[in-house]
Amino acid sequence: MIIVMVPNADDAAVDRVVKEIERMGAQAHLSRGQFRTIIGAVGEEGNIDQNHLATLDQVEKVVPIMKPYKLASREFHEADSVVEIGGGNVPKMKVGGPHAMCIAGPCAVENQEMLNKIARQVRDGGATVLRGGAFKPRTSPYWFQGHGETALKWMRE
């Protein structure tokens, strides 16, 4: 993470930022220019409170330099993620990498007859996975909320 100080920030403000970075378990690396000081915070990004650092006196801005989603980022995981789904009475399939998959289905599972009709259309259209909303949280309790577990049983069939 990079902390950019305001132009001509005084030594006391820079020292305070350095102390806070170290208190968070990271190392501070100073780069003093003629008019501006930049502080690099090196350490576990999750332990560095970016919002706190941004509130310190004479800090102009805080710039994260790492991707926020390390587990999904190519920066930390170059290989394609491949996940195996299915099992039981459903054939196992791989998703990801070279394994393309088409998933289709209704936004909401409204009734079993409708779901069966859509499932046939999904299969005939070439999709390999049926999806559908069984639980539909809504702002109003008077709107359709989904059939919940019953819808999940219909989908399993």
What distance in Å separates the CA atoms of residue 126 and residue 117, rounded to the nearest whole number? 15
Tokens of 124: 């005939």
Q: Quick one: the chain helix, strand, coil %, rounded to 5?
A: 25, 25, 50
Tens place of pLDDT per residue across the chain (157 aa): 899 999 999 999 999 999 999 999 999 999 998 889 999 998 887 789 999 999 999 999 999 876 666 566 676 667 888 999 988 888 899 999 898 889 999 999 999 999 999 999 999 999 989 999 999 888 888 888 889 999 999 998 8
Cβ contact 53:21 at 8 Å: yes
What distance in Å separates the CA atoms of residue 63 and residue 96, rounded to the nearest whole number? 32
> What is the value of pTM for the model shown?
0.50
